Chain A
Amino acid sequence: MELVSPGLGLIFWMTLSFAIVLFLLSKYAWPLILNSLKERETEIANSLEAARQARKDIQNLQAHNEDLLKEARNEREELLREARQLKDDLILKAKSQAEIEAKQIVENAKALIEQEKTAALSQLKNQVADLSIEIAERLLKSELSADKKQKELVEKLIGEAKHQLN
């Protein structure tokens, strides 16, 4: 029976002491502890989030870098191709130019030759004419005595000149 009959004194002291301790802890200990816990938890959560974000950023950066690299490589290729094209074009152009120029030179040369030839011919003609005149003069001087002989000479000379001209 004494086991289940609560004592007045113990109830009194228990209520008083427990209430005081409850008050003291609720005012000075628990808020501090719980706030610190909560703060630490938010801090940890934030840090984790920040780490995740950083990892993501790095990944993005890497992807970006790769893109840049790829772009640069493409650009280089493009440039190279263009350069090659340009080179080929240049060579081609130079070749055709050279051909044209060579043709021109040949043409010029031909024209010059023709000109020289014509000049030479006309000079020759003049010379032939001069020569003929000279011949005629001499013939006239020497052989104008006999008519027949004169005729023969003239024909012989003309035939010679003809032969020469052809």
Chain B
Amino acid sequence: MIIRSVRLLFFAFLFFIAGSVSAQHSNGEEENTSATNTTTAHIEKFNAGKMIMDHIIDSYEWHILTYGEKHLSIPLPILILHERKLVSFMSSAFQHGHSPVFFDQNFDRILPENLNSTENIAFGLAIMHEGKHKSKIAYITADDYLLHHTIIENTEAGMPYDFSITKNVVSLWVGLLIILWLFFGIARTYKKRQGMAPKGIQSALEPFIVFIRDDIAKSSIGEHKHEKYLPFLLTIFFFIFINNIVGLVPFFPGGANLTGNIAVTMVLALFTFFITLINSNKNYWKHIFNTPGVPWWLKFPLPLMPIVEVLGVFTKPFVLMVRLFANITAGHIVTLGFISLIFIFGNINVGLGYGVSVISVAFAIFLAFLELLVALIQAYVFTLLSALYFGMATEEHHE
């Protein structure tokens, strides 16, 4: 019953996607010309670096497209923990990041038209546009704003506890819903078709499951102990793989750079790190502090090997974190770079822009295929290395 309703939701979602695609397609051409128009009209140069950055970092609203002067974006809820109280409002209050939001003593939002004096302002929040906390919500003082009346670039008022449902959080939930729908679906199929040949999605996913079990878990951890870690390995593999793929879909609800976000990869790496530590045995620590097969003068009086090994305990998950982040982010940057070329050349000459678009789109398509491969490879590498670390931590002492 639950699975059926989840499936229904998913199809509703697909329809929504299809709608947004067709909207984007019909607007695609105008978008191009409008982009060039606005740049010439406002004498505001197209900034490829800024555009790419805006696409790959997290955001408080989900920007879908800009049509002329109008921005079509989905506002997302902002959740700020201020003095042990949760303050919530929609990100549309920031007006695409151009305005700050002020609150009074009762944590009620002061609407812009009532913002005449600084008297009843308790605290203010704004999305930073420059500096250390760029594109994050920071506290601002009323004076900051009322003095300059412009976009606040930096502040000394500090950072709030920000638990906002950002674009990446929404994308995360979309990805997780897809995963839950897929695997509860096939679990049901497995139960229903006990002992029969796989069918449908089941037969598409089974090779991956069997591969992870046999060639990752069993070969890295061992015949007897691998079963304990298999659920985690399968979950991270499909989490990374599916979210990589979702990240490649260029329209809502895809396109968020979730697996290329350092916070997400950090959490994944920390899961691996803690599972490794919790399950590590005496032999593992012996290898770290008293590495066998190494000359004594590498351990005493200067404990060179132990230092290297202890560092290794932390560099392993760190490398996991950076590798996934860098690979996925790089893919997004390069693809967006090719698309940017169209607008860079379009700024010089509209015709040139159209000409370059052919080459750029061809390269972007090539990259998309490459990224599909990378999506699989990175999921595989993360899972394989996690399995290797678990294997190392649980390896028994043998002569």
| Distance between B131 CB and nearest chain A CB, rounded to angstroms | 9
Stretch with Cβ within 8 A of B (4 or more), from A28-36, A80-88, A95-103, A106-114: A28-36
The CA of A10 and the CA of B261, in the complex, are separated in Å by: 9
**Contact B132 A1, beta carbon cutoff 8 Å:** yes
A9 partner, pick from B162, B271, B325, beta carbons under 8 A: B162
Looking at chain B, what size class is its interface with the partner chain?
35 or more
**Contact B191 A36, beta carbon cutoff 8 Å:** yes
**Contact A3 B176, beta carbon cutoff 8 Å:** no
**Contact A9 B268, beta carbon cutoff 8 Å:** no
Q: Which 6 A-B pairs have the closest CB atoms?
A: A6-B263, A26-B231, A36-B190, A10-B263, A29-B187, A30-B231
B179 is an interface residue with CB less than 8 A from chain A: yes
Contacts of A17 in B (CB 8 A): 172-173, 176
Contacts of B183 in A (CB 8 A): 25, 29-30, 33
Stretch with Cβ within 8 A of A (4 or more), from B9-17, B95-103, B206-214: B206-214
A5 is an interface residue with CB less than 8 A from chain B: yes
The CA of A2 and the CA of B166, in the complex, are separated in Å by: 15
**Contact B165 A13, beta carbon cutoff 8 Å:** yes
**Contact B161 A8, beta carbon cutoff 8 Å:** yes
- Could you count the A-B residue pairs with CB atoms below 8 Å apart for me: how many are there? 125
B231 partner, pick from A14, A25, A40, beta carbons under 8 A: A25
Residue of B nearest to A36 (CB): B190
A3 partner, pick from B79, B168, B262, beta carbons under 8 A: B262
User: With A7-B162, A11-B267, A30-B230 given, is the CB distance from A21 to B179 under 8 Å?
Assistant: yes
The A94-134 residues at the B interface (CB cut-off 8 A) are none
Contacts of B169 in A (CB 8 A): 9-10, 13-14
The CA of A3 and the CA of B179, in the complex, are separated in Å by: 26
| Distance between B7 CB and nearest chain A CB, rounded to angstroms | 15
**Contact A3 B329, beta carbon cutoff 8 Å:** yes
The CA of A81 and the CA of B143, in the complex, are separated in Å by: 130
The B185-230 residues at the A interface (CB cut-off 8 A) are 186-187, 190-191, 194-196, 206, 209-210, 213, 227, 230
How many chain A residues touch B (CB < 8 A): the figure is: 34
**Contact A26 B263, beta carbon cutoff 8 Å:** no
User: With A3-B56, A3-B57 given, is the CB distance from A14 to B172 under 8 Å?
Assistant: yes
Residue of B nearest to A41 (CB): B210
**Contact B184 A33, beta carbon cutoff 8 Å:** no
| Distance between B232 CB and nearest chain A CB, rounded to angstroms | 7
**Contact B230 A5, beta carbon cutoff 8 Å:** no
**Contact A4 B187, beta carbon cutoff 8 Å:** no
Contacts of A4 in B (CB 8 A): 262, 325
**Contact A8 B264, beta carbon cutoff 8 Å:** no
1/0 per residue, CB under 8 A from A, across B39-80: the answer is 000000000000001001110000000000000000000010
| Distance between A29 CB and nearest chain B CB, rounded to angstroms | 4
B163 is an interface residue with CB less than 8 A from chain A: yes
Residue of A nearest to B206 (CB): A37
The A54-107 residues at the B interface (CB cut-off 8 A) are none
Residue of B nearest to A26 (CB): B231
Contacts of A22 in B (CB 8 A): 231-232, 235, 271
A24 is an interface residue with CB less than 8 A from chain B: yes
B239 partner, pick from A2, A18, A29, A36, beta carbons under 8 A: A18
**Contact A14 B206, beta carbon cutoff 8 Å:** no
**Contact A7 B263, beta carbon cutoff 8 Å:** yes
